[in-house]
Chain A
Amino acid sequence: MDYAIEIAGLFFEYPDSQKALSGINLDIPVGQTVALIGPNGAGKSTLLLHLNGILTSNGSVKVMGLSVEGKNLKTIRSKVGLVFQNPDDQLFSPTVFEDVAFGPINMGHSQEEVRKLVTQALASVGMNGYEKRSGHHLSIGEKKRIAIATVMAMSPQVLVIDEPTSSLDPRAKWAFIDLLRGLKMTKIIASHDLEMVQALCERTIVMDKGQIVADGITQRILADFALLQSSGLAPASTGPSGYPDKAG
């Protein structure tokens, strides 16, 4: 089987000697949609930042068979589209066009190709005609879509998204989930949003305190109420709404 991501023995410590990852081993086959769930501070975002070499440490991380290190970084960053949680960090240019064009320009495409890629990327997230708008004047839902477009313009083979549905209202959220479902590539999605995980991901990885505590088929993981409880993803005691029935 071809693997999009292969991680072996990954440890990471922040400069203030706070342990973020302690021993991650993980393989993700090409084409899979994987959810990465876990409480705040579990190390999800830190793990995502390792997937395109923004953070590096001594463990081995391979993307599409290439190990994530200096000489491969350029290729890897064009293969891995990393979408940050806050679209205000992802969109840093004066106009939407310049933001979406940023990746393709850095990849060295010609002016004409860049224009074509931007149009395609905006179309793929349903945002045609937004080229001249300024990032500041968009709604949060629009910003999230443009943020996806900024990496789609680089035609990535792996899409890595941090908290895609945070701060979206339900309508925008479900529209966004449909959008993600339509993007055919390997996807790794970090989230607390179990509704979305259930709707979108075939495989779920549970992280807690820098370690993977469970890994399996989404339905089985989400039905394991004791597991969700122990990793802080479900209420400590069931309320009258009966949360576990829904999750199953």
Chain B
Amino acid sequence: MKHSFIDQYSDLGSFIHKLDPRTKLITTFAFLLAVLIMPISRWQAFAFYFALVFALILFSRVPLLYIIKRSLVIVPFVLVIAVLNLPFKQGETVGEFNIWLWRVSITYEGLLAFYSIMAKAWLSILGLILLSSTTPFDRLLRGMEQLGLPKVMVMILSFMYRYIFVLTDEVMRMKQARDSRNFGGKRLWQIKTIGNMIGTVFIRSYERAERVHAAMLSRGFEGQMRMTSHLKFKKADAYFGMSFLSCLVAIGCFPFFYS
């Protein structure tokens, strides 16, 4: 059994860790929104966004390298989308080359879209990693609940947090059992084995869900999740929230100061 974390470093004690989870949820989503609606042509704004995120990472005392490593997870997905955008934008051509039968031309607009997608995706993921590594998952859930996320969603996320590594451990054990009896065989046969494993994991999870439900009923569950404690905003939340949001507004308006 491995000790895996979704919210590693979330128990450090920086002032960002101590903020109310709701403050962090709101500011994070404000940040995402600001990043996504900012046109890439105003590149100075993006420089400020990066500066803002990295400053917060430094304040949070979460190791920078850890955050950067985790943020690389999205690169393959985003890269595919960004690269596919390159040849399909109309506009001023900057370069042309041949791939087999096709003549592909790269336009200035295509390049801009490429940069835009990469920068926005990276900024967004950095912001979200910062959120998840400065807030223990159960506090994050409570924050979402108090912000009005439906309880069913909160419960689903809570069970996911509890059982995702139980499931990965189960899959790992099944893989070990398969590999210790695997003597090669045809590709089709191997694919079939994987199919069976997926089916087994599904059925086991389903049965586990039934047992968990029985355990919940045994402790008086009647279909209603009830809350234990309510979060309280503190002064620091107001200060941080206000200054962060005014930073975003200032960055958004920045180039207009010159014009």
- CB within 8 Å of B: which residues of A? 49, 52, 54, 74, 77-78, 80-82, 84, 86, 88-95, 97-98, 101-103, 105-107, 111, 114, 132, 134-137, 150-151, 154
Contact = CB atoms under 8 A, between A and B. Distances in A.
Contacts of A136: 3-4, 162, 165-166
B228 interface: yes
A52 B218 contact: yes
19 contacts: A52-B218, A54-B218, A74-B220, A81-B218, A84-B218, A86-B211, A88-B163, A89-B208, A89-B215, A90-B215, A92-B163, A93-B138, A102-B221, A106-B219, A111-B228, A132-B136, A136-B166, A137-B3, A154-B220
Contacts of A97: 228
A151 B217 CA distance: 12
A89 B212 contact: yes
Interface of B: 3-4, 11, 136-138, 141, 158-159, 161-163, 165-166, 208, 211-212, 214-222, 226-229
Nearest to A101: B228
Nearest to A78: B220
Contacts of B222: 74, 106
A92 B3 contact: no
A183 B23 CA distance: 44
| Majority DSSP secondary structure for residues of B touching A | helix
Contacts of A102: 216, 219, 221
Contacts of A134: 137, 161-162
Contacts of A91: 162
A168 to B, nearest CB: 15
A160 to B, nearest CB: 9
A94 B214 contact: no
Contacts of A95: 138
Given A94-B137, A94-B162, A136-B166, A84 B214 contact: yes
B203 to A, nearest CB: 15
Most chain A C-beta atoms within 10 Å of own C-beta, residue among B3, B158, B163, B214: B214
| Majority DSSP secondary structure for residues of A touching B | helix
Nearest to B217: A54
Most chain B C-beta atoms within 10 Å of own C-beta, residue among A86, A98, A136: A136
Given A94-B138, A94-B162, A136-B162, A151 B229 contact: no
B167 to A, nearest CB: 10
A103 B215 contact: no
B216 A77 contact: no
Contacts of A135: 162
Nearest to A118: B228
Most chain B C-beta atoms within 10 Å of own C-beta, residue among A74, A94, A102, A111: A94
A86 B158 CA distance: 19
Given A74-B222, A81-B218, A94-B137, 14 more contacts: A52-B218, A84-B214, A90-B215, A91-B162, A92-B159, A102-B221, A103-B219, A105-B227, A106-B226, A107-B220, A132-B11, A134-B161, A136-B3, A136-B162
A188 to B, nearest CB: 14
B142 to A, nearest CB: 10
A94 B228 contact: no
Nearest to B226: A105
A103 B227 CA distance: 12
Given A105-B226, A136-B166, A77 B217 contact: yes
A77 B218 contact: yes
A136 to B, nearest CB: 5
Nearest to B211: A89
B228 A84 contact: no
Contacts of B226: 105-106
Nearest to A51: B218
Nearest to B208: A89
B53 to A, nearest CB: 27
B214 to A, nearest CB: 5
A66 to B, nearest CB: 15
Contacts of B219: 77, 102-103, 106, 150-151, 154
Nearest to B138: A94
What 4 pairs across the A-B complex have the smallest Cβ distances? A106-B220, A103-B219, A94-B138, A89-B211
A88 B11 CA distance: 23
Contacts of A106: 219-222, 226
Most chain A C-beta atoms within 10 Å of own C-beta, residue among B136, B162, B217, B226: B162
A81 B219 CA distance: 8
A71 to B, nearest CB: 13
A143 B4 CA distance: 17
A114 B228 contact: yes
A88 B1 CA distance: 13
